[in-house]
């Protein structure tokens, strides 16, 4: 089954199924010499893992990561890094009834038609459980980028269902189960409790940013930074839309507003979302993703079975009433993987150019200047 490797210079090959013995990934291309341990990765996995609140699936997976290769005496060696996460709390019997049926909104029908066989247990390969290895790989990329450039990745929930969430502060995000940037989430909790009681689900909007991104990452024409970000985000389960910067609000903006004016001190706004011509400008990368409502719900829905006979499908088991609640660390990881890939590409192609620029800037800094410049 192709399509399991993300990236070229920082290549992440994802493996496993939702109810198999384990899931994981192999990272090929991580630069050598970086200190790396399971603790560097586990924090992000803990943010994503199930069973952390009453508002998400109660599947109780510790998601403890093991580093099997690519690290010697605590440092990366430049060889493939294999990461393994054991599955410990599968309940495959919950999926026995739907083995011959197709759940509306799921990949069941498409997988069966494409491959002629499918693993119905928890969605098999199409399960959002397979985002855990990408979060683990993203943690490795985050650490390298932070140590090399000071790059920081953050994300938050901007909307859940029909409730828009105003941005108050990044400080609130780790203090609630929604990754919401607000102090009081009681309204969100009441909304989710009512949704679960009704046997229904909802979607969400997630905002993710990268700060202190190096200038010059991205390749014209078809490997643009924003194009690769959109491609990566659409690879996350349940994502149905991606915006960069102002996104669809650009439709109603005038050119006098949308174009980010430049002064000697820097850009005055960031409608472009941190890229121009597909190349990073040094501003924050600003990305928003739209996540559809969870397809696994207990409310009966019409479908067909493998013999094309009409059936009524009720999805049992443990599911998130809003998969967007746990999507924030996933979106951060995918953004980090894109930036990591382009950072290594840029270092390979334009390292000499950057070295000349840095030397030129050092010479300029040594001379007195009547006016500061951000260039």
Residue 100: what pLDDT? 86
Beta bridge partners of residue 268, listed in sequence order: none
If you average pLDDT over every residue of the chain, what do you get? Answer: 90
pLDDT higher than 70, residue 375: no
258-309: pLDDT as tens digits:
999 999 999 999 999 999 999 999 999 999 999 999 887 778 889 999 999 9
pLDDT for 9 beyond 70: yes
Helices (H), the chain: 38-48, 108-115, 132-149, 186-197, 225-234, 255-258, 328-366
3-state secondary structure at position 312:
strand
pLDDT band at 320 (very low <50, low <70, confident <90, very high): confident
| CA atoms of 269 and 322, how far apart (whole Å) | 33
Provide the token pair at 11: 């290549």
Confidence of residue 121 (pLDDT cuts 50, 70, 90): confident
Angle of helix 328-366 versus helix 38-48 axis, rounded to 10: 130
Return the residue matching tokens 């938050």: 156
Q: Is the pLDDT of residue 206 over 50?
A: yes
Report residue 355's pLDDT band, with 50, 70 and 90 as the boundaries.
low
Least confident residue range of 25-29, 94-98, 175-179, 330-334: 94-98
Helix (H, G, I), strand (E, B) or coil at 256: helix
pLDDT at residue 329, rounded to an integer? 97
Percent of residues, the chain, with pLDDT higher than 90: 70
pLDDT band at 372 (very low <50, low <70, confident <90, very high): very low
Q: What is the pLDDT of residue 70?
A: 98
- Eight-state DSSP code of residue 201: -
* pLDDT score of 369 more than 50: no
Residue 100: partners with Cβ closer than 8 Å, 6 or more residues away: 305, 306, 307
Q: 26-64, pLDDT tens digit by residue? A: 999 999 999 999 999 999 999 998 766 777 765 667 899
pLDDT given at position 313: 87
- pTM confidence score: 0.90
User: Which tens digits make up the pLDDT trace of 66-110?
Assistant: 999 999 999 999 999 999 999 986 665 666 577 788 988 889 999
Per-residue confidence band for 354, with pLDDT thresholds at 50, 70 and 90: low
């Amino acid at each position: 089954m192709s399509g399991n490797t993300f990236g070229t210079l920082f290549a992440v090959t994802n493996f496993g199924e939702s109810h198999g013995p384990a899931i994981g990934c192999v990272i090929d291309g991580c630069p050598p010499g970086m200190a790396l341990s399971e603790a560097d990765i586990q924090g992000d996995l803990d943010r994503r893992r199930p069973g952390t609140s009453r508002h998400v699936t109660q599947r109780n997976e510790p998601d403890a990561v093991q580093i099997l290769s690519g690290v010697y005496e605590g440092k990366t060696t430049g060889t493939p890094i294999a990461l393994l996460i054991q599955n410990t709390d599968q309940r495959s019997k919950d999926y026995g009834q739907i083995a011959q049926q197709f759940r509306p909104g799921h990949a069941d029908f498409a997988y069966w038609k494409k491959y002629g066989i499918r693993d119905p247990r928890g969605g098999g390969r199409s399960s959002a459980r397979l985002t855990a290895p990408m979060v683990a790989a993203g943690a490795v990329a985050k650490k390298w980028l932070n140590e090399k450039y000071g790059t920081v990745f953050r994300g938050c929930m901007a909307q859940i269902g029909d409730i828009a969430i105003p941005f108050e502060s990044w400080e609130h995000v780790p203090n609630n189960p929604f990754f919401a940037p607000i102090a009081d989430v009681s309204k969100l909790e009441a909304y989710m409790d009512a949704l679960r009681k009704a046997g229904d689900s909802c979607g969400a909007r997630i905002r993710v940013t990268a700060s202190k991104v190096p200038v010059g990452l991205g390749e014209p024409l078809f490997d643009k930074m924003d194009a690769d970000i959109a491609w990566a985000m659409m690879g996350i389960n349940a994502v149905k839309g991606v915006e960069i910067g102002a996104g669809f609000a650009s439709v109603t903006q005038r050119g006098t507003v949308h174009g980010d004016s430049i002064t000697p001190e820097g850009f005055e706004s960031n409608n472009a979302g941190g890229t121009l011509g597909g190349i990073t400008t040094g501003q924050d990368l600003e990305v928003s993703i739209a996540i559809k409502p969870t397809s696994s719900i207990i409310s009966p829905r019409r479908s067909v079975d493998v013999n094309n006979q009409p059936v009524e499908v009720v999805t049992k088991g443990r599911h998130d009433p809003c998969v967007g609640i746990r999507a924030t660390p996933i979106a951060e990881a995918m953004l980090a993987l894109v930036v990591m890939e382009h950072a290594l590409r840029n270092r390979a192609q334009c390292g000499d150019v950057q070295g000349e620029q840095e030397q030129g800037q050092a010479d300029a800094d040594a001379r007195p200047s009547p006016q500061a410049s951000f260039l």
